[in-house]
Amino acid sequence: MKRSTCTLTPENYNTACDLAGTALLRRIPAASTILQITEDGAWNEFSTGVYIAADFENVIRYTGSAIREGSVGDRVQEHVLRGRAARWTRLMVVPLAADTEEGLVRRIEGRIGTVLRPLDTKRLPTLGGPPRRPASRRASR
């Protein structure tokens, strides 16, 4: 059985940005590596946003969000330190306005995750209910 997967393409990134609506700060269409984010500070200017991680085959593995005093890159660093980012090779950020309310950030993360179906995300925020699993993946026949 083969899972239906989404890849980190410019089209999928643009869809993610569209799902952010008016909270979107701006589009950053270039992917970054873990080192660019954690060592070079590529995302240091963003304190709020949704990040999308893909593996070496460009398959989307994870979506997450950050709302913090530091940067979205600090959140990615936490994943690295806990060993959760071992398969991540390319990442993109959907930066949100710093004053975006936490509930809205989580709903945007849920919307993006529902559409992009990351393989390693176990639960997604929803529109007001308890977290839920990503959309089911049907086997190709």
Q: How do residues 95-108 score in pLDDT, each as one tens digit? A: 999 999 999 999 99
Instruction: Give the domain CATH number at 105.
Output: 3.40.1440
Q: Looking at the 3D structure of the chain, how many domains does it have?
A: 1
pLDDT at 68: 92
Q: pLDDT at residue 138 above 50? A: no
Exposure string of 79-89, with b = 16+ CB inside 10 Å and e = fewer, is beeeebbeebb
Could you give the CA distance from residue 109 to residue 89 in angstroms, rounded to a whole number?
20
The answer to the question of residue 59 being in a domain is: yes
The answer to the question of residue 97 being in a domain is: yes
Q: pLDDT at residue 136 above 90? A: no
Query: What residues make up the domain containing 26?
Result: 10-116
The answer to the question of residue 136 being in a domain is: no
- Confidence (pTM): 0.86
Task: Provide the 8-state DSSP code for 21.
Answer: G
